[in-house]
Chains A and B, each alone.
Chain A
């Protein structure tokens, strides 16, 4: 039994690069929204997030024109996040309700629902335009 095997390990580690993923910045900015604003203005640089895999399930996308209004997606949605709009015979998806299972994607007979790789969805308003797909 060695005494303190970790000591050698940490000494070796100190010269190596840390494993932390520095998204979005090395240190917490004073204000995250301010920082993101600066990034969009091109004044600051953002450390990119880890790349999502190809079949990642992010924010849902919906092709309204292809939808035939069959309501199958509503039957399988575990979160009851899908609402039927009678007038247009299309559906409306509340992203704050959605649990990103993509079950509706599998069930839709005309493949008009898909999951994008968009995951930065935080918002102050549950019903903001960004969080309702129709």
Chain B
């Protein structure tokens, strides 16, 4: 090693993570820094791998729906929803209409809750704790409503294969409408406090840029991709549940600012506007909701028997608050799925970090990392440790592995 490498002269390396106050979940970033400017970025996910798929492949679908609730601490509906959709396709279950609407309402409440949580976290990353407190305070209303509808604040346990486990009774509509009015009266204030603040403008405008082309090339999803001007939203691109019957459009940043820059600011705009959109969607759902059953089969042994008979594979996609969430399931005439794969939205979004972080300042690292609303626990599906050292797999090797696995699946 030459003396040059040893000395502390610029550029030097700063590790951020696996645990760091800027990160809400473990992941390791390595930055090569010159002065205050980031020259090179690398990151190593896989620090929050819990083996959920492995657990799932030893359980039956009715058990798994409660496991999927816990893949993410925030998207308690989205993962279960995507998984249930996959199973429903394999088994050929016709979900009752009312259940579709209830699922939609819950998914939208989840979006409100998740986006407000994100807004608070983003403010905290900027050192703006007042807005963090404010955002989380107003988020409580959506948590209260979710609690009213499902019983608990997190881990809702409401989506079941073939429908939902609880109906929304007529008496609850008044309380829900009260909550919606609360958000409608609040949204202008939120937009003002977040978007018209000079310091937030200084920190977020033209920071963490992701161009339209890069967003497309990297296959980013959700608010991250919409903030860069890509019109993509699973709810509109391939409607599921009740979304096909609702009237709404892509939320793009230029609706509010008149232009699309693809910076952190635009991501705030998209998420805050989506809160307003979700309120509107819930209103529409409540108006159009048909009467009827909420579950395809209320007798659990019958449902389990139907799942056990099924054979085939399917993909369930939903638009989680962070973007597309995808579950692949393969059933093989047995109690538990033969194969279950979860692809969370952060998995698609995380590579955009490399693009966004290059050339930015150290001070902007936390807000840029937070701007895609990363959820590592949802994302981490593998952690390879061999001889105490993590391995790096090349693209070719991974390709070979997947070909082998596909063959194995086909032959079985």
Contact = CB atoms under 8 A, between A and B. Distances in A.
Interface of A: 1-6, 9-10, 19, 53, 55-57, 72, 75-79, 99-103, 106-107, 115
A6 B130 contact: yes
Given A101-B69, A101-B155, 12 more contacts: A2-B192, A4-B199, A10-B130, A53-B147, A53-B148, A55-B150, A75-B304, A99-B66, A99-B70, A103-B63, A103-B300, A107-B300
A101 B147 CA distance: 14
Given A10-B130, A53-B147, A106-B165, A5 B155 contact: no
A2 B201 CA distance: 11
Contacts of A19: 137, 140
A10 B133 CA distance: 11
Nearest to A73: B300
What's the interface size class on B, roughly?
A: 35 or more
B301 interface: yes
Contacts of A75: 60, 300-301, 304
B197 A4 contact: yes
B362 to A, nearest CB: 25
11 contacts: A1-B201, A6-B131, A19-B140, A53-B147, A55-B150, A56-B151, A57-B152, A76-B304, A78-B63, A103-B66, A103-B157
Contacts of B60: 75-76
Interface of B: 59-60, 62-67, 69-70, 128, 130-131, 134, 137, 140, 147-148, 150-152, 155, 157, 165-166, 189, 192-193, 196-199, 201, 298, 300-301, 304
A42 B372 CA distance: 51
A6 B190 CA distance: 10
A53 B153 CA distance: 10
Nearest to A77: B63
Q: Give the interface SS of chain A, mostly helix, strand, loop or mixed.
A: loop
Nearest to A115: B151
Contacts of B137: 19
A107 B70 CA distance: 21
A102 B196 contact: no
Contact of A9 (B59, B62, B193): B193
Given A1-B196, A76-B62, A78-B59, A106 B130 contact: no
